[in-house]
Amino acid sequence: MDRSDLQQLSREQLIDLVLQLQRPDKTSRTSSKPPSTDKKEKRENSRPGGAKPGHEPHNRRLADNPDEIRDHRPTHCEFCGGAVAADAGMALIGEYDEIEIPPVKPHVIRHRRFACRCQHCGAEAKAPAPAAATATPFGPRIHALAIYYKGFQALSYERLRLMFRDAFGL
């Protein structure tokens, strides 16, 4: 606003404008605003935030023995678009690990039981039934995992059943 705009204001408008300019900014101390909306004051001798120059970065260590290594080489210059020769000297500028859990798939052993006729007496000779045929088909690792989830993670039997179905296809 310049001087001519101020001269055109009525007396009441001018008084309101002066009062508005004299009123302090609203803070949590002068109004019902929460303290989290207050602006922080700039402290004298304060240092900027973030890592300080020369600070050693804290990054995840790379794996000692990766299962697979994929090299990413440039194929063209990003400035001129020219092709980069396959035998051009390359310098390693970064290494990064991508960590993934391998697909979990149950190891299934099919037990097959056979029978045949005895050549001597003609009776049917049957192989003994394996333990898997007379007891639960699930091995000790599956039992241990189920006990862990049931006992220590407090999964209900229904959630335990769904977890084994969804995660392992059992």
Mean pLDDT of 32-57: 77
With respect to residue 107, please indicate whether it lies within any of the assigned structural domains.
no
**What is residue 56's predicted lDDT score, i.e. its pLDDT?**
84
SS3 string of the chain?
CCHHHHHHCCHHHHHHHHHHHHCCCCCCCCCCCCHHHCCCCCCCCCCCCCCCCCCCCCCCCCCCCCCCCCCCCCCECCCCCCECCCCCCCCCCCCCCCCCCCCCCCCCCCCCCCEEECCCCCCEEECCCCHHHHCCCCCHHHHHHHHHHHHCCCCCHHHHHHHHHHHHCC
The CA distances from residue 59 to 41, 66, 72, 95, 124, in Å, are 33, 17, 21, 12, 68
With respect to residue 163, please indicate whether it lies within any of the assigned structural domains.
yes
The residue written with tokens 């394996």 in the block is 130
**What is residue 60's predicted lDDT score, i.e. its pLDDT?**
85
**Range among 16-20, 39-43, 56-60, 96-100 with highest mean pLDDT value:** 96-100
Q: How many domains does the chain fold into?
A: 1
Mean pLDDT of 13-30: 81
With respect to residue 148, please indicate whether it lies within any of the assigned structural domains.
yes
Q: Please give the residue that has the higher pLDDT: either 6 or 109.
A: 109
Q: pLDDT tens digit string along 118-156? A: 888 989 999 998 888 888 888 888 889 999 999 999 999
Q: Which domain covers residue 141, as residue numbers? A: 137-170
**What is residue 73's predicted lDDT score, i.e. its pLDDT?**
92
With respect to residue 85, please indicate whether it lies within any of the assigned structural domains.
no
With respect to residue 9, please indicate whether it lies within any of the assigned structural domains.
no
| pTM greater than 0.85 | no
How high does pLDDT run on average in the chain? Answer: 86
With respect to residue 98, please indicate whether it lies within any of the assigned structural domains.
no
With respect to residue 142, please indicate whether it lies within any of the assigned structural domains.
yes
pLDDT for residue 50 is more than 80: no
**What is residue 124's predicted lDDT score, i.e. its pLDDT?**
92
With respect to residue 3, please indicate whether it lies within any of the assigned structural domains.
no
The CA distances from residue 133 to 40, 139, 141, 142, in Å, are 73, 12, 18, 17
Distance between CA 19 and CA 8 in Å, rounded?
A: 18
Q: Please give the residue that has the higher pLDDT: either 103 or 144.
A: 144
Mean pLDDT of 42-56: 76
